[in-house]
Amino acid sequence: MTPIVQGFLLGKQAAYHRREPIMPIQQILTGGKVPVKIYTDDIDPKALVQLSNMAQLPFVHGHVVAMPDVHVGIGATVGAVIPTKGAIIPAAVGVDIGCGMNAVRLSLKAGQLPDNLRPLRHVVEAAVPVGFDMHLEGHGALASTVRALSGGLDHIVKRHPGILKMQKNVERSWMRQLGTLGGGNHFIELCLDENQDVWVMLHSGSRGIGNIIGRYFIELARKDMGKHLANLPDRDLAYLREGAEHFDDYVDAVHWAQDYAMTNRREMMRLILEALARQLPPFTATKEAINCHHNYVAVEHHFGEELFVTRKGAIRAGAGDLGIIPGSMGAKSYIVRGKGEPESFCSCSHGAGRRMSRGQAKKKFDPQDLIAQTAGVECRKDAGVLDEIPGAYKDIDAVMANQSDLVEVVHTLKQVMCVKG
């Protein structure tokens, strides 16, 4: 698609500039209140429209950033960094609040793993509920962990009792979902690095309670905007202004959900390591790479200003920060160290990024394609996970090349076992 056509798609006021192929910024969109700086040439026109819409909002500060794994999302583009002053867009944070990654290196070598990893996969699947499954009452997360989270949620639902009406038995299910994987693109993997060291890596978020909190405040933001909602380029960009009635409540709720998500990953990792310890030679966890969010909002200082930085499908990559950038199942993943690049608001991609929707993937591929593309990986290879086939994702090597100024690679991981919901 030519720049002229792309500029047309972005509206009469938008302009489109293609840079020469000098890393890292590949394209710049102008015409909004702020520019959009894009770290890839591989971007869907619909994502360009979403980014242009975001750049028109009056409280977006400096510029919007699109990561190399950028693709269309609900409300806001996945793979976007949105700095704002005095307001937050709940739909930009999303409904899987605090979704992110955790990775731990073990003291085991590849040669200490069994030749057949299928029994090991089943052991992990038995220890960590996947999909819509939950732990039995009284099992799963430690009681002390549940108590630490209970007070914060009680405060939130006391002010917003409607949250409890959005799902049956939510006051109990959030406890039973602590230490569970969920579905979609969430996963648990056993990987080997360049030294043949064994790693455990997982991807999950705030489960059902985070989804409820996200949907509740997205709708509340729309209601609070009233007739002004019609002035937005997209109703999913409804925002909460700092100082408005529900702003502080949302900040409290989103921070609680982010804490829940991090705790969920920590509890899952504990359960996985306990399960593996019963099957493998004695080992210790030698290094936790990071337990990081990639759907979240935080207060940060950039360019001399205190801002709300929303990362929707992006991770923080400040100078020295360790992060995890996974590829699709069957591809490589990376442990990285941030370089603190100011133009990216100290951010990098959160993965490979989808190149086709789940529906498109199911139409294009069949289980035989999945078997071929996940050769050498012990994982499900049935139609139920066909939408997660590697061919539905961008090339992780190209994504990494486009952000060489944002991160340096510390370890390269290759999956040998993958658990999906």
Residue 118: name the closest of 387, 379, 412, 384 by CA: 379
How far apart are the C-alpha atoms of 240 and 222, rounded to whole Å? Answer: 9
CA max distance for the chain: 64
How far apart are the C-alpha atoms of 355 and 374, rounded to whole Å? Answer: 18
Q: Are 305 and 85 in contact (CB under 8 A)?
A: yes
Q: In what order do the strands lie in the sheet with 27-30?
A: 15-18, 27-30, 36-38, 64-71, 78-84, 305-312, 295-302
Buried b (16+ CB within 10 A) or exposed e, 197-225: bbbbbbbbbbbbbbbbbbbbbbebbbebb
222: left (phi over 0), alpha (psi -120 to 50) or beta: alpha
In three-state secondary structure terms, 40 is: coil
How far apart are the C-alpha atoms of 190 and 283, rounded to whole Å? Answer: 14
Q: Which of 160, 203, 246, 350 is catalytic?
A: 350
Q: What angle is formed at CA 150 by the lines to CA 145 and CA 152, rounded to 5 degrees? A: 115
Residue 192: name the closest of 407, 377, 353 by CA: 377
How far apart are the C-alpha atoms of 33 and 177, rounded to whole Å? Answer: 42
DSSP assignment of 257-325, as one string?
HHHHHHHHHHHHHHHHHHHHHTTSS---EEEEEEEEESEEEEEEEETTEEEEEEEESEEE--TT-EEEE
> 21, exposed or middle or buried, with CB in 10 Å at 0-12, 13-18, 19+?
exposed
- CB within 8 A of 110, min separation 6: which ones? 192, 196, 197, 198, 416
Active site residue 350: yes
Catalytic residues: 350
